[in-house]
Amino acid sequence: MRAFSRGVVILGLLLVIAGFGVPTVAGTASKVAQETAEFVLRKFGKPAAKEGGETLGRRLEDLALRHGDDALLAARKTGPLGIKAMEEAGEHSDDVVKLLVRHGDEALWITAKPGRTAIFVRYGDDAAEAMVRHRQIAASLIEQFGAPGARAMTSLEGRNARRLAMMMEEGELRRLGRSEELLDVIARYGDRAMDFVWKHKGALAITTVLAAFLAEPEPFINGARDITTIAAENVAQPLAEVPVEVAQEAAHNVNWTVVFAVVTGLIVLLSAGGVAGVMRKVAALRSHISHPNGPTRPAEPLRTTPFASQEAYLPTGTTPSSGICRY
């Protein structure tokens, strides 16, 4: 009997504690969520007021039960757009909540597009930091070069971030061949490294010069070593070898049949009349081209008969001087 009474007391206490003595977790979450909803309505005004405080409170309560107080803090910072981003993030909702808490409404540019959210989820906080600071140019670089691109972008200010993006868009960064290592150098030394790379990108296109820079970048960045000297030393040897390579390539591509025919024709022409004969033939050919119907002869001058010879043609009894006929 005594054991039964003790059981009843314990059961009664449990019922009191569960139902009346201590506020439930759900009740507490509901209260805090409603307070957050009212705060969001006051802060964000009309965009948040479309559905009313009660509906917004229920949505926030659901987020709080799944993600804790961070969800409510994110909602206070980002308003309706942040609440929507957390609800639609699916399996990545925990990551999105942390992103919104850390960066506030600046992170909404990332969560506005699934592709940007995917970049953040894949490459983490460095990618988020880069996209918050540089937006699309950072997103494009990270898509191509991944984590090294994200780290490089976080270390740069606006102008140098744009320079790096231009090198990517024009293919210069990819053509260097060791682009990820170069991005790591930029991530370590920031704007100083990017200033150097931008100024000397032509020299860095030489493999040996790039290797020297990547092996020990700081002396070059600080000006203790001159990269143009290394570039000149490495360019001199290839230039000396260029004529041989060019000659070999040219010899390979020449149509020797045509060359032989031309040389043979010249030999025949020279043997026929020597150089002077060839020149005459060329002149004749040019004359023919200029006057296809033959050369135009100049008009012959009027012939004048000497005065004395005209006596034979005068009538009988006249002289050249008188012009008088005598009978």
64 contact partners, CB below 8 Å, separation of at least 6: 29, 32, 33, 71, 72
Whole-number Å distance between alpha carbons of 235 and 273: 51
For residue 63, with 0-12 CB atoms within 10 Å meaning exposed, 13-18 middle and 19 or more buried, which class applies?
A: buried
Whole-number Å distance between alpha carbons of 13 and 240: 98
Whole-number Å distance between alpha carbons of 97 and 89: 9
Query: Per the structure block, which two tokens stand in for 36?
Result: 């957050």
Return the pLDDT at 81.
Answer: 95
Return the pLDDT at 110.
Answer: 97
Range of lowest pLDDT (96-105, 138-147, 150-159, 252-261): 252-261
pLDDT in tens, 185-240: 999 999 999 999 999 999 999 999 999 999 999 999 999 999 988 877 765 555 45
Q: What is the mean pLDDT of residues 82-91?
A: 95
pLDDT in tens, 110-147: 999 999 999 999 999 999 999 999 999 999 999 999 99
Greater confidence (157 vs 252) lies with: 157
Q: How many residues does this entry show for the chain?
A: 327
Return the amino acid letter for 193.
Answer: A
Return the pLDDT at 275.
Answer: 55
Return the amino acid letter for 228.
Answer: T
Has residue 155 got a pLDDT over 60?
yes
Has residue 94 got a pLDDT over 60?
yes
**How would residue 177 be classed by pLDDT, with cut points 50, 70 and 90?**
confident
Return the pLDDT at 91.
Answer: 93
Has residue 87 got a pLDDT over 90?
yes
Has residue 69 got a pLDDT over 90?
yes
Whole-number Å distance between alpha carbons of 177 and 169: 15
Helix (H, G, I), strand (E, B) or coil at 226: coil
Backbone φ, ψ for residue 297 (5° rounding): -80, 140
Q: What is the mean pLDDT of residues 315-319?
A: 53
Instruction: Give the containing element (helix H, strand E) for 174.
Output: helix 172-175
Has residue 28 got a pLDDT over 50?
yes
Q: What is the mean pLDDT of residues 67-77?
A: 95
